[in-house]
Amino acid sequence: MKTYRKGYVAENQLVHMLYERGWAVMRAPRSGKISIPSPDIVAIKSGRVLIIEVKSRVAGFQIRKEQMNELAEYIERSGGEGYIALKLPYKGWKFIRFEDVLANGGNVGKKFLDEKSLDLEEVVSN
Amino acid sequence: MKTYRKGYVAENQLVHMLYERGWAVMRAPRSGKISIPSPDIVAIKSGRVLIIEVKSRVAGFQIRKEQMNELAEYIERSGGEGYIALKLPYKGWKFIRFEDVLANGGNVGKKFLDEKSLDLEEVVSN
């Protein structure tokens, strides 16, 4: 399975998990981009807004500055909560608050992830 | 220009108009549907959520019951405001509150549109 395809399947799974928990969900189009930046997933429930960027890789990596800026603007406009989501082998989905990743210079290392990451239930029941 | 293509271009225009007015916007994917219903456009600004279904046709028409139900559920889950959006020749974009369309049995007639429709500025400055 190619990384692209793998990422798509993972994203789809997360969308369904949120849907099953009562969220209104939308995922960004893969193609036909409209020159306006958007995150991978937006989920809304009773006025609570989650802005989610999915990274289909293990820690550590760095999110490039341009993407961090685009996410920051989207979060600012919406007034929602930003998260970076990772699907880890054996551990499942982990979420890190966008502010934490921003404060860490866009870096998502293994130790950082261990310290800061949340499970899905922690995110949705916030 | 085919209807499908025409609808796509119109939707794109609306997405950009909302973006220029400070909204965080996302439009639904055209393809690769994920078996979860979603509207054409979601726009969010400082916690205010617009759920928009774009109809690229003139009045009158009827929105089928299944789609009305799907929209109602999405609006309910999100806690947002639902709108049916039309781009009319010469008149530009018009918006009708989802509740009004629902109360009218999904029918969007010419007279109904004249009575109930809002301009973009009325919607975004609500």
Whether ipTM tops 0.90, in short, is yes
Measured between CB atoms, does B98 come within 8 Å of chain A? no
Contacts of A103 (CB under 8 A, 6+ apart): none
Return the half-sphere exposure (C-beta side, CA atoms, 13 A cut-off) of residue B35.
5
Q: Encode pLDDT of B55-107 as tens digits.
A: 987 778 999 999 999 999 999 999 999 999 999 988 899 999 999 999 999 99
Name the helix (H) or strand (E) containing B84: strand B81-88
pLDDT of B21 reads 97
d(CA B67, CA B17): 25
Contact at CB, B80 and A36, closer than 8 angstroms: no
CA-atom Rg of chain A in angstroms? 14
The residues facing A94 across adjacent strands are A86
The answer to whether the bond into A80 is cis (omega within 30° of 0) is no
Tell me the percentage of chain A whose pLDDT exceeds 70. Answer: 92
Topology classification of domain A3-124: Trna Endonuclease; Chain: A, domain 1 (3.40.1350)
pTM: 0.93
For residue A36, the chain B residues in CB contact (below 8 A) are: 15-16, 19, 25
| Confidence label for B1 from pLDDT (cuts 50, 70 and 90) | very low
| Helix, strand or coil, per DSSP, at residue B23 | coil
Q: Encode pLDDT of A40-60 as tens digits.
A: 999 999 999 999 999 987 778
pLDDT of A60 reads 86
d(CA A53, CA B98): 30
Residue with tokens 């692209």: A4
Predicted confidence (pLDDT) at residue A83 exceeds the cutoff of 60: yes
Give the mutation candidate from B8, B21, B31, B34 for the A interface (greatest A CB count, under 10 A).
Answer: B34
Q: Give the distance from CA B43 to its chain's centroid.
A: 10
Q: Is the dihedral of CA B99, B102, B107, B111 positive or negative?
A: negative
pLDDT of A34 reads 63
Instruction: Report the C-alpha dihedral over residues A31, A32, A36, A37, rounded to 10 degrees.
Output: 0
* Domain residue ranges of chain B, discontinuous segments joined by +: 3-124
Instruction: Point out the catalytic residue in the list B31, B35, B46, B125.
Output: B31
